[in-house]
């Protein structure tokens, strides 16, 4: 178990809340990402906490970290994509099931079955699915439709603090829109190996040139999300 010293008691408590209890779990996350997660959880930190985390991984004292290592860590910190403390697994699965209902509606309408819901303060403020065929509009992906709904609901095109749950990894068009909307967290189900812009083909959310604000998490109910797509295309081939 992680204990004090070298970490402060409040830091250890915050790590436990993030699910990081042991040195091995800290090693899997890494010093830089752990530091950013602690900041995202609301802690006010100094660079000394980063040195402490790195020293734990190295089995050394914080004062033994070299200037070279400090420079390397700060460079990694600057380049690191946005991170966030994500909701509990049960909560993410709950909202993903709502997105799956939208995907099923999309399939029933003859559209590629992708669904999305946007959540603010624990409540769904937008639910949408693909309507490209019905609207004769290539931009009417589930995410774009959900952003439009949420913007109308919030009376603001910027959706700071909102999360979006999508059954399929967003494409470049949708990823760019989500970044522009300043969505806080993107949670998606199945990866999209052909056009995915959250890591499969490119990760626009990690490109610092785009002034990104959005953290991503994939793989939530991924088998269920894949199954909706598989059934749709199987039926389409049969038909």
Catalytic residues, which ones?
143
To the nearest 10°, report the CA torsion of 163, 128, 155, 186. Answer: 20
Distance, in Å, from the CA atom of 207 to the CA atom of 213, rounded to the nearest integer, reads 10
Q: Could you give the 3-state DSSP secondary structure of residue 130?
A: coil
Residue from 157, 178, 161 nearest 122 by CA? 161
To the nearest 10°, report the CA torsion of 169, 196, 185, 141. Answer: -60
Which residues, including other chains, have CB under 8 Å from residue 200's CB and lie 6 or more apart? 169, 191, 192, 193, 194
């Amino acid at each position: 178990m992680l204990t004090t010293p070298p970490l402060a008691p409040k830091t250890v408590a915050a790590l436990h809340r993030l699910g990081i209890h042991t040195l091995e779990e800290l090693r899997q996350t890494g010093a830089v990402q752990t530091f950013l997660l602690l900041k995202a959880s609301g802690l006010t930190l100094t660079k000394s906490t980063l040195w402490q985390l790195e020293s734990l991984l190295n089995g050394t004292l914080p004062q033994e970290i070299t200037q070279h290592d400090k420079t390397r860590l700060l460079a990694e910190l600057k380049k690191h994509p946005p991170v966030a403390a994500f909701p509990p697994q049960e909560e993410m699965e709950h909202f993903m099931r709502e997105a799956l209902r939208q995907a099923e509606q999309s399939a029933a309408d003859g559209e590629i079955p992708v669904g999305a819901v946007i959540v603010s303060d624990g409540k769904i403020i937008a639910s949408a699915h693909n309507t490209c065929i019905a609207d004769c509009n290539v931009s009417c992906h589930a995410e774009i439709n959900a952003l439009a709904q949420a913007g109308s609901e919030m009376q603001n095109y910027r959706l700071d603090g909102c999360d979006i749950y999508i059954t399929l990894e967003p494409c470049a068009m949708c990823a760019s829109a989500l970044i522009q909307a300043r969505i806080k967290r993107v949670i998606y189900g199945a990866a999209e190996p052909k056009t995915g812009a959250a890591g499969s083909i490119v990760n626009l959310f990690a490109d610092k040139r785009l002034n990104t604000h959005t953290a991503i998490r994939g793989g939530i109910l991924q088998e269920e999300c894949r199954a909706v797509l598989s059934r749709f295309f199987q039926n389409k081939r049969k038909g």
